[in-house]
Chain A
Amino acid sequence: MPFRTRYLTQGIAKVLIWIAALSTIAVMILILFQILGQGLPVLHLRFFLDSPKEMGREGGIFPTIIGTLALTAVAIFFATPLGVGTALFLREYTKEGQTRSIIRFGTDCLAGVPSIIFGLFGFVFFVIYLNMGWSILSGGLTLAAMILPTIISTAEEAIKAIPYSYREVSYSLGGTKWQTLTHAVLPNALPGIFTGIILSVGRSIGETAAVILTAGSSLVMPTSLFSPIRTMSVHFYILAREGISMEMAYGTGAALILLVLLINTVANGLLNRYIRRRT
């Protein structure tokens, strides 16, 4: 290719790539601008602390906040020990081989299963087969299965990053393998594991399809783990889709976005501090 054309091609490519990068940023800003612009004026303290009235046309979103928190807490409670345990096993107890490749296949596949399939599964298994009904427990367990792959992979990265010398010191002091893991490895991997948990919280808060099929959409204040609930995302979906109130939908959407922004900022901050300490 002649000299001129080569640089012309490069110039064109560069412009196109810049356009792609900038339009990605632009779309992000447009979405934030639209939802926050219309939704922020709705966000008063009373919006957060009042119960919805007339299906959500008036009042606030308090029960949905409680529902979201409860559901997320149950999911994290079940997924964290399973995820961290799996990561420990994969990193510290196995070498490349059959067992490991089966477990990896399981986690990789689980990560790709769409949320509506988790919803169907949670519905027949937890809601009907185990007779838990539409409840915080059914929804939380379904979400736990969904976020498990995220917790496993972040915990694995965190454990992988612990220098081998930490383990050697512990062994040389006469520590057993389990003591080494619980006293030398896990405490140092904690910030990384925590980052994974926070990312999973974000995913749980935003999930709708699986939650609506397993935790229901009742607007009543939950009283136990077996109460049905409506999360913020489900509330937002119902308000918007059934055209109940655009104003309330924007408000709930803005609250969701702020929550997700907050969670991402915290996760990033943790991750950065963690990386800086490690290097």
Chain B
Amino acid sequence: MEIREKIIEKTLLLVALSSIMILGLITFFIFKEGLPLIWKIGPGAFILGARWVPSQGSFGILPMIFSSFWVTVGSLILGIPLGLACAIFLCEWTPPSVGMVLRPAIQLLAAIPSVIYGFWGLIVLVPLVRNYLGGPGLSILSGSTILGFMILPTIISISEDSLNALPPSYKQGALALGATYWQTIWRVLIPAARSGIVTSIILGMGRAIGETMAMIMILGNAVKMPTSFLDSARTLTTNIGIEMGYASGDHRQALFATGVVLFLIIMFLNSLAIFLSRRRAR
């Protein structure tokens, strides 16, 4: 009996290590495929190079890094205020009737496949941008607007959890001192839930940087330095998504190398979010 229990415990430990092993395998294989090319052309030339012409062997991903950056910033400009407002609405101001619609709506926002967002952006948003603001319509502006909505569920759910986790005495104390309801929320509750809200924003950022399919459909995929929000762009993820289908040799390795850069950015954001939420838990 004793031995059997021991065996079970060890087996479960092995099973529990599966996710860290998968993470290790992912890291190993992405780096194994991508690093040789980075060494071959030099990390500086790869990351700071502005020309991406696989047929001529020039692989510079600076335009993609910039595009990813601006698309993500754009999505946060929309996603943070909207997400925070919805979180406040849900835990402080919800009339039950509206909450009953908003909550499933947010769940559905999280469940809708990203290709559907991409398609909707292409059909509805892109023509709007093209007709009213000019440019090709397939642009950073359209992409970040869609992304802003795609990251909403992440921002809302984690911010809401951290607002709900505050001791009720915070709110009671502030109200008892004569603060208005809004002052309580803005000056007491939000600062107190700060680290959770920041975590939610970091995770939302990770989601925005990592989104692929919707962005392939909306951004227009031109390889160039973006100069305005109405420019077409190609991000790190879409670069991989578009060309992976037919790439071979150095070209394929360059796509994996793009993956290495993306993976490092994501792991940095993940670690930051994990560090923040562990500090909060303590």
Q: Are B216 and A110 in contact (CB under 8 A)?
A: no
Bound-state Cα–Cα, A179 to B124, Å: 57
Query: Which of A89, A103, A120 contacts B259 (CB under 8 A)?
Result: A120
Which of A44-52, A145-153, A218-226 lies at the interface?
Answer: A145-153
**Residue from B89, B112, B209 in contact with A18 in the complex, judged by beta carbons closer than 8 Å:** B89
A217's nearest neighbour on chain B, judged by CB, is B245
Pick out which of these stretches binds chain B: A19-27, A58-66, A158-166.
A19-27
- B233-282 residues with Cβ-Cβ distance < 8 A to A are 237, 240-241, 244-245, 255-256, 259, 262-263, 266-267, 269-271, 273-274
Q: How many A-B residue pairs have CB under 8 A?
A: 247
Within the complex, which residue of B88, B244, B270 is in contact with A109, where a contact is CB–CB below 8 Å?
A: B270
A6-B82 in contact (CB<8A): no
Interface flag for A168 (CB, 8 Å): no
B19 touching A89 by the CB < 8 A rule? Answer: no
- Complex CA gap A205/B81 in Å reads 30
Closest to B183 in A: A6
Q: Which residues of B contact A16 (CB under 8 A)?
A: 85
- Residues from chain B with Cβ under 8 Å of A18 in the complex: 89
> Does A207 contact B113, Cβ atoms closer than 8 Å?
yes
* Contact status A82-B18, CB under 8 Å: yes
In chain B between 192 and 235, which residues have their CB closer than 8 angstroms to a CB of chain A? 203, 206-207, 209-213, 216-217
Judge whether A148 and B102 touch: CB under 8 Å: no
Question: Which chain A residues in 214-268 approach chain B with CB under 8 Å?
Answer: 233, 236-237, 240-241, 249, 253, 256-257, 260-261, 263-264, 268
B94 (CB) vs chain A CBs: closest residue: A21
Binding stretch for chain B, among A69-77, A121-129, A186-194: A121-129
A102 near B85 (CB under 8 angstroms)?
no
Q: Which residues from B are CB-within-8-Å of A85?
A: 11-12, 15-16
Q: Judge if A112 is at the interface, Cβ distance under 8 Å.
A: yes
Q: For residue B274, which residues in chain A have a CB less than 8 angstroms away from its CB?
A: 105, 108-109
Q: Nearest chain B CB to A83's CB is how many angstroms away?
A: 9
Q: Are A9 and B182 in contact (CB under 8 A)?
A: yes
Bound CA span A85–B9, Å: 10
B152 within 8 A of A: yes
B137 to nearest A CB, angstroms? 16
B170 within 8 A of A: no
Chain B positions 1 through 37: 1 when the CB is less than 8 Å from some CB of chain A, otherwise 0: 1001100110111011111111101100110110000
Q: Is the CB of A233 within 8 A of B119?
A: no
Q: CB-nearest residue of chain B relative to A232? A: B113
- Say whether A110 contacts B23, CB under 8 Å: yes
Task: Using known A-B contacts A6-B180, A31-B116, determine if residue A263 contacts B19 with beta carbons closer than 8 Å.
Answer: no
The answer to whether A103 and B23 touch across the interface, beta carbons within 8 angstroms, is: no
Q: Which residues of A contact B23 (CB under 8 A)?
A: 106, 109-110, 113
- Is the Cβ of B18 less than 8 Å from the Cβ of A113? no
- Once the chains bind, are A17 and B22 in contact (CB under 8 Å)? no
B19 contacts A213, C-beta separation under 8 Å: no
Whether, in the assembled complex, B115 has its beta carbon less than 8 Å from a beta carbon of chain A, the answer is yes
Q: How far is the CB of B44 from chain A (nearest CB, A)?
A: 23
Q: Are B20 and A106 in contact (CB under 8 A)?
A: yes
Are A21 and B269 interface neighbours, CB within 8 A? no
Closest to A90 in B: B16
B86 within 8 A of A: yes
Contact of B244 with A208 in the complex, beta carbons under 8 Å: no
User: In chain B, what residue has the closest Cβ to A181?
Assistant: B8
A10 touches B (CB below 8 Å): yes
Contact across chains for A116 and B13 when beta carbons are under 8 A apart: no
State whether A261 touches B106 (Cβ < 8 A): no
The reply to whether the CB of A131 lies closer than 8 angstroms to some CB of chain B is: no
Instruction: Kindly list 5 other residue pairs between chains A and B, CB separation below 8 angstroms, not including A10-B183, A21-B98, A25-B105.
Output: A14-B182, A16-B85, A106-B20, A109-B267, A120-B33
Q: List 17 A-B contacts (CB under 8 A).
A: A16-B85, A86-B19, A93-B12, A113-B26, A113-B270, A114-B206, A114-B237, A121-B29, A123-B244, A124-B32, A145-B26, A176-B4, A202-B111, A240-B119, A240-B122, A256-B116, A264-B111
